Amino acid sequence: MTKSFQEVLKDRRSIRKFEGKPVKDEDLEQIIEAARLAPSGTNRQPWRFVLLKTEAEKARVAGSIIQPFVLEAPAVFICCLDKKAYTKGMVEKRMDELVQSNVISEEAAGYISQFKMPDKPEDVKIPPDAYIDLGIAVQQMALMAEALGLGSCWVRLINPGQIHEQLNLPDELKVVAVLPVGYPAQSPPPRPRLERDEIVVQL
């Protein structure tokens, strides 16, 4: 039975125990597609993902992931930011696309262009917007997993530098989070949430 969007939001939990059953490749593709469709500042799409599926692939990051449940999941996404997305050439390319399709004006593009942007990825200092963009993409993946009857868990309790080294990733990638995905072997109750009036600030 297909879940409504409201049900997907309400039912999603962080899953920390997975069945051994592998996730279908077409489901993993749908999860990647959910990230691909995410919105991002100036459409920069800075997210990149490494998918670990085999025991040998997962063994490469052993010791860098503090919680053992992560590598017990049949699929593990290593979620990264790409510094190339913030080089002058790439930002201008994305802005041109937006100007061409009348999404932003020449003036708005000019405003963005006045900020100093490095030519080379090694000179890029990753801006805070990048983490917002990656966060949106990863959460879209988590919601898609839920919609497909799968479970996932955001994980930041990792050693990103060591993962980068163990996977021999290119210099321009920065590891930010990990998202294990699999069939849930637990159904946790909802975690506490603040009340509506605690999150809406009255003027």
Which residue ranges make up the site for ligand FMN (CB under 6 A)?
Answer: 13-14, 16, 67, 153-157, 191
The least distance separating ligand FMN from the CB of residue 154, rounded to whole angstroms, comes to 4
Q: What is the C-alpha to C-alpha distance for residues 1 and 25, in angstroms, rounded to an integer?
A: 20
The least distance separating ligand FMN from the CB of residue 149, rounded to whole angstroms, comes to 16
- Which residue number, 67 or 159, has a Cβ lying nearer to ligand FMN? 67
The least distance separating ligand FMN from the CB of residue 191, rounded to whole angstroms, comes to 4
Q: What is the C-alpha to C-alpha distance for residues 132 and 148, in angstroms, rounded to an integer?
A: 24
The least distance separating ligand FMN from the CB of residue 18, rounded to whole angstroms, comes to 13
- Which residue number, 116 or 193, has a Cβ lying nearer to ligand FMN? 193
- Which residue number, 125 or 191, has a Cβ lying nearer to ligand FMN? 191
The least distance separating ligand FMN from the CB of residue 36, rounded to whole angstroms, comes to 20
- Which residue number, 127 or 160, has a Cβ lying nearer to ligand FMN? 160
Q: What is the C-alpha to C-alpha distance for residues 74 and 201, in angstroms, rounded to an integer?
A: 42
- Which residue number, 192 or 202, has a Cβ lying nearer to ligand FMN? 192
Q: Which residue is nearest to ligand FMN (CB)?
A: 157
